[in-house]
Structure 1
Amino acid sequence: MRVISYGGGVQSTALLVLAAQRKIDFLTFLFANVGDESEHPATLAYVREIAAAYAGRHGIAMHELHRQRRDGSIETLWERLHEPRLRSIPIPIRMDNGAPGRRSCTSDFKIKVVAKWLKERGATPRNPAVVGVGISLDEIHRANKRRCEPYEQIDYPLLDLALRRDDCVQIITTAGLPVPPKSACFFCPFKTVAAWRHQRRYEPELFEKSVQLEAVLNEKRAMLGRDAAYLTRYGVPLDRAIQAIPERPEHLDSGCDSGWCGS
């Protein structure tokens, strides 16, 4: 079994094009959706309206996966963050010193979701599935951070082909596809200040939801007797942080284009 962990961003969409061209040996793509109210709307639109259609035209199976509870209902990251009895925050919310806290969102809503799908279809430690991840040459340092489970063997097709992110953009545009937006939860604490500023200016509804989420999480922390934590590294609430930080050129890079979340 050979699958691509598809994130809906540039690197993993380049893998989709390469698979369509039969330049890599993968015909199954798995998109682990952490929740329609958690994923960026532009990413969901790209995956469902562009990538899935392209995959279908080229004989590639694309599956959208969700985390399921024992009763079969879908659990989303947004729901968990608003769980009344929440004691551990699953996203890497930042402490007063700016350092991100521990997170379980990637494991629970991406890695384990893909794992369940693979194991249900026969992947075992003795017969592992090959899971392709879209890490490009310019971010090779991320390759050894990918957690590897006993039932899977991680593969890096972009590294094997010595492709960089710019190469991935060229592959996508040459295939006649629009370049996908940066893939990440819209409230991810790994966002850069530029990305937050962009959200505040051009996606005010999402920014307001991020502000409200930060407030909800801090209400929960206060009830547990814990210090406040934030979605940025500046130690103040999001709306104040983005309003106060001087504008300067900064990349929007932050996300999980490769198919799993990165920092």
Structure 2
Amino acid sequence: MTTAPAVPASPDAALVTFSYGGGWQSTAALALAARGDLPFTTFLFANVGDDSEHPATLRYLAEHAAPFAAAHGITLHQLARTRRDGSTETLYGRLTKPGSRSLPIPVRMSNGAPGTRQCTADFKIRVIGKWLKAHGATAEQPATVGIGISVDEIHRANNRRCEPHERIVYPLLDLGIRRADCPRIIRAAGLPVPPKSSCWFCPFHRLTAWADQRRDEPELFAKSCALESLLNDRRAELGKDSVWLTRHAAPLAEVVSTDDVLPLDFSDGTCDSGWCFT
């Protein structure tokens, strides 16, 4: 694996930043930046809400990523979505707001197909974009934004919409880094490997992830079931069909086995490797 600096920043770039999501790839990028192998000194973490991000991700950020970044001269900003009145909006808060009809997460419809996914755009891409523009990024002078997509997920590079004020680069691709390389890079930097990064209620979870949550985090699993029930109660009032947090068109508590061992399920989603460009 080469350790030469990856795609250099545009000479006209107002800012050079990296979008940090707390997962394996972006933490590996943080470790590489700390040792001078990537040209990023500003990392941006778009927090979709302390009530929405998985608690383990927030603990890792506070206990490991942020202190590590500070010790190596890297700025790690934690950003949040703010309303016009200055208050903070969270993804879970939007979903559970009394009277809300908003359904921004990719819940599974009755036929198993995912619904519209607006959460990444609203709570990550636009949040980071707002910060970039506030710090000088424009269409004429775009910010360079690094995204932590690895070689084995190269197809995801085409799924990230590029805004006029940003220039997207994929430094892990340029270095030939695969997801499987990331734990070694992270440990070599003296960091523990972070947990998988996602919202705790993400419908892209595999059944194995839901089973882990039910076994290891029963209170969080109960909260996931309650959220699914709340969404369906509201849809029933509107005369709409039910939606689900898995593709199996049944309540989460019925779908997820209570057994310790489940057959592998690789078709239930992709939110265990940083689908939200993390």
Bin for the TM-score computed over the shorter chain: over 0.9
Shift of 1:256: 6.6
Structure 1 residues 141-183: Cα deviation after superposition (integer angstroms, max 9, x where no partner): 1000011100001010000001001111110011111000000
Match of 1:191 among 205, 211, 218: 205
Higher mean C-alpha deviation, range 85-94 or range 179-188: 85-94
- Selected match of 1:231 from 229, 245, 252: 245
- Does the alignment pair 1:31 with 2:45? yes
Q: Which amino acid aligns with 2:271?
A: G
Task: Write out aligned runs for 1:180-259 (5 A).
Answer: 180-243=194-257, 247-250=262-265, 254-255=270-271, 258=274
Match of 1:141 among 155, 174, 180: 155
Distance 2:189 2:70 in 1: 15
What one-letter code is carried by the residue in structure 2 that aligns with 1:81? Answer: L
CA distance in 2, matches of 1:23, 1:256: 26
Identity of aligned residues (%): 59
Letter in 2 for 1:127: Q
Residues 1:61 and 2:75 aligned together: yes
- Give me the whole-angstrom Cα distance separating, in 2, the residues matched to 1:257 and 1:94: 20
1:115/1:13 Cα in 2 relative to 1: closer, same or farther (>3 Å)?
same
| Residue in structure 1 matched with residue 146 of structure 2 by the alignment | 132
1:250 Cα deviation after fit: 4.4
Uncovered stretches (5+) of structure 1, i.e. residues with no partner: none
Unaligned runs of 5+ in 2: 1-14
- The Cα offsets for residues 50-80 of structure 1, whole Å up to 9 and x where unpaired, read as 0000000000000000000101011111110
2:264 alignment partner AA: P
Q: Is the alpha carbon distance of 1:84 and 1:172 closer, same or farther for their aligned partners in structure 2, counting shifts above 3 Å?
A: same
TM-score by length of 1: 0.95
1:18-167 aligned at under 5 Å gives the runs: 18-167=32-181
**C-alpha separation between the residues in 2 aligned to 1:150 and 1:105?**
20
Q: Contact (CA 8 Å) 1:182, 1:254: kept in 2 or not? A: no
> What's 1:12 paired with?
26
- In structure 2, the CA distance between the partners of 1:222 and 1:19, relative to structure 1 (3 Å rule), is same
Aligned residues: CA RMSD? 1.9
Q: After TM superposition, give the deviation of residue 247 of structure 1 in Å.
A: 2.1
